[in-house]
Amino acid sequence: LKAAQSDDEDLARVGYESLVAIRGAEIDRAIIAGLQQAEGKTRLLLLKAAGDRYLTQASDAIVPLLASSDKETRHTAIEAAGTTFEAPQLPKLITLLTSTKDDAERDLIKNSLRNAVRRMPSPDACAELLITTMAGVSDDAKVEILELLADVGGEKALKAVAEAANSEKEILKDAGTRLLGEWMSAEAADELLAIAKADPRGKYGIRCLRGYIRIARQLNVPPQQRLAMCKAALDVAVRDDERALVLDVLQRNPSKATLALACDIMEEHASLVDQAAAAAVAIGETVVQSDAKAVAQAMDRVLSATKSSQIAAKAKALKAKAGG
C-alpha cells in the first residue's frame, strides 16, 4: 500500500499492481478495514483496489461511500460497485440512478450497473430484483431499468421488456420495441413478430419486423427456423425495404429452399425483380454442385422475369453449368 502511494510513478504503479494481484484473506480484510477508516487519497486507492480485485466482501463498506459529499470519492465508489456489488446491493445503485441530477454521474452509474448485472449468476433472479425496483419510479427511470434488463437477458427480462413494448405509454413502447429489436437471443423473435403483425404499417411494427429479420440474419438459428422466419416476415412486410432485408438473409444462407423463396419474391414483387433475381443467381452459384436440377429450374424462372441483360447472361451461364 505504501508503494502504491509513492510519488515515484513507476514504484506506485508496481505497488498498486501488486496490491491488486496478490491474493489472500488478510489483504482483503485490510482493504475493507481501510475503506471504513481511511480518508482522502488512501481511501480512493483502496476503493479502486477493491473494485479491481472484485472484492465482493467490501460491498457493505462501499455502500455508504456512494453518498459521499466528495465527488471523487463518490464516483470511485460507484465504479467499484460495478465489480463488487451483489444482488442485495443493486437497489442502492438503482436509487442513486433515479435520484441523481448529474448527467455524467448518471452515465457512470449506468455503466456500473451494467457491469454488476452481467456478473449476476442467475439472470432471472437479477431480473426479478430489477423489476421490483420499477414500481413507483418515473417513466424515465423505468426506461433506464429496462435497458438494464436487456443487459441481463433471460426469460423474465424478456417478458418485462415485451410488456413495455406493448404499453400504451409512448416512452415505454419506444424503449421496449427498441430493446426487443436489439435482443441478443432468438427468444425475442415471437414477441417481435406479434407486434409487427399487430401494427404492420406503424413505426413500431416496422421496427419490430426489422428486429425480427435481424435475428434471422445475425443470430444462430437452425436453417428450417430461419427459412420459416423469412416466410413469416414476408407475410407481414408491407414495404420493399423489409423484403430486401429478407433477400439478404436468403443470400447469406444459400440452399435449395432459400433459392426457391428468392424466386418467389422475384415473381411476386415487380419492384424487386432484379434485386431478387440477382440474389437467386448468387444463391444458385453457391449450391449448383449439390442441387443442379433446382438451380436449372430457378434460372429458367430468372430468365422469364428479369429485364437485366447482365443478370440474364449470368443466369444462362449458370443454367448451362447446372446441365439445364
Top CATH class, 1-84: mainly alpha
Q: Where are the alpha helices (DSSP H) in the chain?
A: 9-21, 25-37, 40-52, 59-62, 71-84, 90-99, 103-119, 123-132, 139-152, 155-165, 170-181, 189-198, 203-218, 223-236, 240-252, 256-268, 273-287, 292-305, 309-321
* CA distance to 71, 179, 286, per residue, from 283 (Å): 59, 32, 5
pLDDT given for residue 3 in this prediction: 57
pLDDT given for residue 8 in this prediction: 60
CA–CA distance, 4 with 113 (Å, rounded to integer): 28
* DSSP-derived secondary structure letter, 169: S
pLDDT given for residue 7 in this prediction: 67
Q: SS3 for 307?
A: coil
**Cβ-based neighbour number of residue 223 at 10 Å:** 11
Spatial neighbors of 247 by CB under 8 A, at least 6 apart, are 262, 265, 272, 275, 276, 279
Which has the closest alpha carbon to 204: 221, 186, 191, 219?
191
* CB-CB contact of 280 with 301 (8 Å): yes
Which has the closest alpha carbon to 118: 184, 66, 20?
184
What is the location of CATH 1.25.10 in the chain? 1-84
* CB-CB contact of 315 with 263 (8 Å): no
* CB-CB contact of 181 with 208 (8 Å): yes
Task: Name the residue type at position 129.
Answer: L
Spatial neighbors of 60 by CB under 8 A, at least 6 apart, are 89
Give the predicted TM-score (pTM) of the model.
Answer: 0.88
pLDDT given for residue 19 in this prediction: 78
Return per-residue pLDDT of the chain as tens, 324 residues.
565 566 667 666 767 788 788 889 988 998 899 899 988 888 898 899 999 999 999 999 999 999 999 999 999 999 999 999 999 899 999 999 989 999 999 999 999 999 999 999 999 999 999 999 999 899 999 999 999 999 999 999 999 999 999 999 999 999 999 999 999 999 999 999 999 999 999 999 999 999 999 999 999 999 999 999 999 999 999 999 999 999 999 999 999 999 999 999 999 999 999 999 999 999 999 999 999 999 999 999 999 999 999 999 999 999 999 987
CA–CA distance, 98 with 144 (Å, rounded to integer): 9
